[in-house]
Amino acid sequence: MDKNLENRLEIAKQVAKIAGDYALSKRDSNDFEVSQKSLNDFVTTADKETEALIFSELNKAFPQDGFYGEESKEVSGKGRWVVDPIDGTTNYFRNLPNWVVSIAYEREYNKPLIGVIYAPCLNEMYYAMKGFGSYKNGKKIHTSNIGDIKFSINVCVPPHRYKELYADYMNKFNIIGTNSSDLRSLGSCALELCYIASGYIDGYYELKLGYYDFAAGIIILEEAGGKYTIPHNNSVNKDDRIDLIATNGKLHSWFEKVIL
């Protein structure tokens, strides 16, 4: 076992818990302000403070590592941490429980080796390390065995920040919806990927994500037996917006046939 990675995983879990509890305390005391970055894209002072806390804690433990967070400038280093301090910001400030702290670590860009996702309101800690499986609160998790689309529950998130994409998106939404058992949208990409990894839901499709939204989630998904595709050769550089297909693996070819 890679002791350096194992150490980073344990520290990341500790930091996610500290950061999540801090963000929760700010929410419960209503001690934050909300501003709008662009259409339907919000940020709170709690997002920024939580990201600063995560950077401080990780930098103390691993000062040589790089850092890439949603709310701050990228810091170069040996490998990097990819962080979304509050994935599901709208849920956060509207007092819905589906928001998480998301932390990934990678030695090569866009190839996460560690993923940690903590949902404070739900008391759920998801994590994975390359080659060692995925876990929720210490118990191993795996994707569902559903291979027939008509029995599947899937996540489809309309492009609420990119209204010009609605028409084409809704054509695919209609195909997925009419063939599925049911659809969901929880408001947090990271948490939805964990739910596929856990076998609660089976497929996912969303447009125009940030890499920080799903970096931790895709390693948790893969280690649990799932698959993901970034369609149309989207790049994953900072500030790029990325489309994502993710499934339990058994439904992946069906989703790719509909979407690609």
In percent, the amount of the chain with pLDDT more than 90 equals 90
Can you tell me the distance from the alpha carbon of 113 to that of 222, in angstroms, rounded to the nearest whole number? 11
Backbone angles phi, psi at 228, to 5 degrees: -140, 155
pLDDT of 239? 62
Token pair listed for 5? 């990675």
Residues 8 and 99 in one domain: yes
Residues 7 and 134 in one domain: yes
Q: Which domain holds residue 198?
A: 149-259
Residues 68 and 116 in one domain: yes
pLDDT bucket at 12, cuts 50 / 70 / 90: very high
- Lowest-confidence region among 84-98, 121-135, 207-221, 225-239: 225-239
Q: For residue 218, is pLDDT > 80?
A: yes
Q: For residue 234, is pLDDT > 80?
A: no
Q: What is the mean pLDDT of the segment spanning 165-177? A: 95
Which DSSP helix (H) or strand (E) runs through 104?
A: strand 100-108
Q: What is the mean pLDDT of the segment spanning 18-39? A: 96
Q: What is the mean pLDDT of the segment spanning 196-212? A: 96
CATH number at residue 134: 3.30.540.10
Residues 36 and 161 in one domain: no
Q: What is the mean pLDDT of the segment spanning 172-200? A: 98
| Residue 10, CA distances (Å) to 7, 105, 150 in order | 5, 12, 39
Can you tell me the distance from the alpha carbon of 215 to that of 112, in angstroms, rounded to the nearest whole number? 6
- Residues 100 and 127 sit within 8 Å (Cβ to Cβ): no
Residues 194 and 104 in one domain: no
pLDDT bucket at 14, cuts 50 / 70 / 90: very high
The pLDDT tens digits for 56-73 are 999 999 999 999 999 998
- Residues 136 and 122 sit within 8 Å (Cβ to Cβ): no
Q: What is the mean pLDDT of the segment spanning 1-27? A: 96
Structural domain count, the chain: 2
